[in-house]
Amino acid sequence: MKQKLLVEVEGIAKHFVIKQKLFAPKTVIKAVDEVSFGIYSGETLGLIGESGSGKTTVGNLILRLLECDQGKITFAGQDITHLPQRSLRGLRKDIQVIFQHSQETLDPKMTILELLVEPLKLHHIVAPHQFEREVKQLLNMVGLGEGEKHKFPFQLSGGQNQRVGIARAIASRPRFIVCDEPVSALDVSIQGQILNLLLDLKQEMQLTYLFISHDLKVVKYLCDRIAVMHHGKVVEIGENSQVISAPTDPYTRELVNSLL
């Protein structure tokens, strides 16, 4: 069976111009430099590379949190590269994100119940009288007890807050999630639980993931294919086993040797 591409990026670029001192010359950082790849429906594509190689910038471009300087991004057959702000809400329902530090993205003044009702309201997922029932189901899906819903983020552990972040991401019933280092800030003992939760949810909700990580072990465990970034470029992309056991690019070989 021929697989269908859900996400396609073609020659995308993002350059940042920075000026550190008043009379200093400008420096251009090619954070993402003509990157192209596709993500098939239902797959988990790992995006790895050293710190500063451009992984988060790629994710933010796909999420339309940043604008591309050049190139094209297609989602489910639609060119979303320059989709105007007013059309972005529809896209936000389908494309979600899980960040490394969920707690920082959660409003500390809101209870877990309020934090989970917010996306349900925003994207008109269910009628208001069904909010409580839907929240109960979301909590259940991410392995949190119903008793947690009246708590505030500071009253939960790092792992529990990450589960809240995941619940908010799946609340809109998305098709695609950018997971940007979702377990890097967690204790090793908790990492496995969250990774398995992401795998279960993917199955249950037929999700597609872009999984950004600098941890090759995690990517090896979770991803179908792996793309390797180096200085803003994708230097290698292929099946998980092929990239890890028979890398063709010298930088990937170095990365595999140092991390595994």
Residues of this chain that interact with ligand ATP (CB under 6 A) are 16, 18, 29, 31, 49, 51-57, 214
| Residues ≥6 apart with Cβ < 8 Å to 239 | 224, 225, 226
Query: Residue 51: which of Mg ion, ligand ATP, none does it interact with, CB under 5 to 8 A by kind?
Result: ligand ATP
CA pair distance 255, 11, nearest whole angstrom = 24
Binding stretches for Mg ion (CB under 5 A): 56
d(CA 165, CA 104): 10
Question: Which C-beta is closer to Mg ion: that of 179 or that of 198?
Answer: 179
- Residue closer to Mg ion (CB basis): 56 or 191: 56
In terms of CB distance, is 52 or 90 closer to ligand ATP? 52
Name the binder of 18 from ligand ATP, Mg ion, none, CB < 5-8 A by kind: ligand ATP
Pick between residue 125 and residue 259 the one whose CB is nearest to Mg ion: 259
Tell me the DSSP string of 198-212.
HHHHHHHHT-EEEEE
What are 251's two structure tokens? Answer: 């930088």
Residue 204 C-beta: closest distance to Mg ion, Å: 27
Separation CA 79–CA 81 (nearest Å): 6
Nearer to Mg ion, 111 or 184 (CB): 184
Question: Minimal CA–CA distance to 174: which of 110, 92, 112?
Answer: 92
Distance of closest approach, residue 59 Cβ to ligand ATP, in angstroms:
8
Least distance to ligand ATP, CB of residue 117, Å: 31
**Which one of ligand ATP, Mg ion, none is in contact with 90 (Cβ closer than 5 to 8 A by kind)?**
none
